[in-house]
Chain A
């Protein structure tokens, strides 16, 4: 069972994630609505992946990486960025280690194919 932390502030989107991860036994998810609680969560629990919506407050999604990567316990956790924004975000993410990208809208197949890529099952 892989552990995934989902950082998503929009309630509707949180509902979408919850629905998507229903009825499966490969991934165990936690959902957080802001980056500050998310960072606290990351430092207290080991995650295999973080799903991140890039535009969030109070710390913009891209700044989130700086905090994440500055701590060696979290430095190597892969991050999957999910956003409606396209090419310019991808451009920025190329400079970040262990960062992956998926553009909204997502559906179950696209999301799980991506997760399979990032976290191959043993």
Chain B
């Protein structure tokens, strides 16, 4: 009965407010119902009745068994909840998912204790809402998120999110573990920046600031520390993570580009190395298409010529407005073969380059050329230097006054210098390719011999006779050297010849001179010795005639020796001797004495001596010894060269001079020898006594007195005339 009492009470309470609330409760979409302690429905609005799929009469005045008996588990659940509210007196919020018929129904319920005026709890009020539709949407969302997460999870790129609050990592996907070797747990919740290479922190920080500022920075690279301590290069694409319109962090995707970087760096290195090598060898590279557009120019040239993009090669390098006349590109493209040309670069100090134009097809199928431009300035300079040196060499060998010729393996002359024409009489035209050494040597054997020696010893240096075109032989010094190719084989012989005719002549003269002087000085001594030998034997036999003869031989030879020695000593003394005291001397007396001294020769040849010295032409003013030497030499000469006839010595006065004349009928002088009589040691005949110093000494003496000496002859065998002028006594100086 308690039950009825309670119900009446509730009715009463409710009835009071019925006017106010019934309309609201009944129209509410939320279910509202009230259970008492025994699970009797005290109230249920229409929504509540509809919700469990029943009718008002089945609920009102009935218990929970009637209302929810068709869902026993659900009913029991609710009975326990009602019990709990009565136990605790506190409200409770619950969510349920329950199958109603074939329908899954989601509900959200609020259970509240209902108390009477005395504060005693007598019922539990339940407001619950069917949230099936909302739940469905929520579930769909969850499912989509899960799918999304799984997508992120298995993405090969690292996906991360960083909290805006404390810069810690809030999410990492599986790729992170694969790439870095770390487990996600090791890093989730840790500072994001600790993963980044210290050098890259400025970029990381900057981009982080950008994303937190709501911007999406362009992709950037950061190095990420791996568990092994190495770094991988990541390409980051990051954006702000927005939730409920608020930026809560950074969300990003990282691609591992370490390999790509390595490849790129290897490529760059290769390129740089190539460019370095090319620059070091002063080789420039460019790529040009068939329309002469520059596709690539190496950095060294960009420095000089500027950016090549959109420019034509002829304009870029040469400042021209049309294709260069020497351009190798058209030919290279036409023939599809390497073309080598030479260019001078006016903007690079006229540097000379050798352009190797190589045609090639790019992946798009266009034909281009790559040009390797090799600096050949030095080569050119070397070539020029070589050319000049060759020219100098050629000029030298052509015009040097010695014969230079070369023969090759054929044995014919391949070179014949200008001077050879003078020396041999053969022109270059006549000699080169036509003549052989046989034509210029005295014998074939000799020609072969010099070449053989040169080949064997590396040089043949010999004095021999060579033959002119006119057949005349002349003495020459010939040097033959083999010329070897780099393999060491003799390919030609060079010959150098010097005409030594003059030297030979001088050598011969020297030899003759020494021989003559030696002979001349030794003979009188030998003769004297032999005379004494003769004398000694004659004394033994007391043969007076022979004693006298020996005596005469000895005397004559001693006199002859004295004169020779005097003359030799005079020559050495001349030029050093001061003019000794001058005096007036009688020419006649000096002549007479000189004739007396040589009397033995005069008698041998029965010569007639005539002395014609008038009084007015007798007194000369000079050193007596000088005059004596002069006259003695002149008379000795005349006697020596005269085998028959006579000698006339005369004088006459002319102004302040005395002119002395000695005329003989002797050997005379050959016209060719006329100029030589005053040469020291010249002797017209080697068998004649004397050392060849007579006339040279006379000349020295006469010149000492500003006089003149002249020797003349009408020829061999026609006598000689000697005319001398000396200062006259009393004459003006």
Contacts and interface: CB of A to CB of B under 8 A. Distances in A.
B515 interface: yes
A105 B530 contact: yes
A56 interface: yes
Contacts of A56: 687
A96 interface: no
Given A19-B546, A85-B518, A12 B533 contact: no
Interface in A39-62: 55-57, 60
A16 B534 contact: yes
A108 B686 CA distance: 27
A57 B685 CA distance: 7
B556 interface: yes
Interface string B489-526: 00000000000000000000001000110110011011
A69 to B, nearest CB: 21
Contacts of B549: 15, 19
B515 A88 contact: yes
A103 to B, nearest CB: 9
A56 B687 CA distance: 5
B9 interface: no
Given A12-B556, A12-B557, A84 B531 contact: no
Among A11, A12, A57, A107, max chain B CB count under 10 A is at: A12
Given A12-B556, A55-B686, A84 B533 contact: no
Contacts, number: 63
B527 interface: yes
Interface string A2-34: 000000011111011001100000000000000
Contact of A16 (B516, B518, B530): B530
B244 interface: no
B686 A60 contact: yes
Contacts of A9: 687
Contacts of B527: 10, 12-13, 16, 105
A76 interface: no
A9 B549 CA distance: 18
A101 B60 CA distance: 185
A94 interface: no
A73 interface: no
A83 interface: yes
Interface in B338-390: none
Main secondary structure of the interface of A (DSSP, over half): loop
Contacts of B511: 88
A106 interface: yes
A104 interface: yes
A104 B515 contact: no
Contacts of B533: 105, 107-108
Contact of A55 (B515, B530, B557): B515
Nearest to A103: B526
A85 B604 CA distance: 27
Given A106-B530, A107-B533, A11 B515 contact: no
Contacts of A10: 523, 527
Among B515, B530, B557, max chain A CB count under 10 A is at: B530
A13 B560 CA distance: 14
B515 A85 contact: yes
A89 to B, nearest CB: 8
Contacts of B557: 12
B553 interface: yes
A16 B515 contact: no
A49 B687 CA distance: 23
A16 B553 contact: yes
B62 interface: no
B534 A19 contact: yes
Given A12-B527, A105-B526, A83 B519 contact: yes
Contacts of B525: 105
B395 to A, nearest CB: 44
Interface in A67-122: 83-85, 88, 104-108
Nearest to B560: A12
B434 interface: no
A84 B518 contact: yes
B606 interface: no
B687 A55 contact: yes
A19 B533 CA distance: 10
A107 B557 CA distance: 17
A84 B519 contact: yes
A108 B537 contact: yes
Contact of B519 (A11, A16, A55): A55
State the 8 A-B residue pairs at the shortest beta-carbon distance, nearest first. Answer: A84-B522, A105-B526, A104-B526, A105-B529, A57-B687, A12-B553, A107-B533, A16-B530
Interface of B: 511, 515-516, 518-519, 522-523, 525-527, 529-531, 533-534, 537, 546, 549-550, 553, 556-557, 604, 685-687
23 contacts: A12-B531, A12-B553, A12-B556, A13-B530, A15-B549, A16-B527, A16-B553, A19-B534, A55-B515, A55-B519, A57-B685, A57-B687, A84-B518, A84-B519, A84-B526, A85-B515, A85-B522, A105-B526, A105-B527, A106-B526, A107-B529, A107-B533, A108-B533
Given A9-B687, A84-B518, A105-B529, 6 more contacts: A12-B527, A16-B527, A104-B526, A104-B530, A105-B527, A106-B526
Interface of A: 9-13, 15-16, 19-20, 55-57, 60, 83-85, 88, 104-108
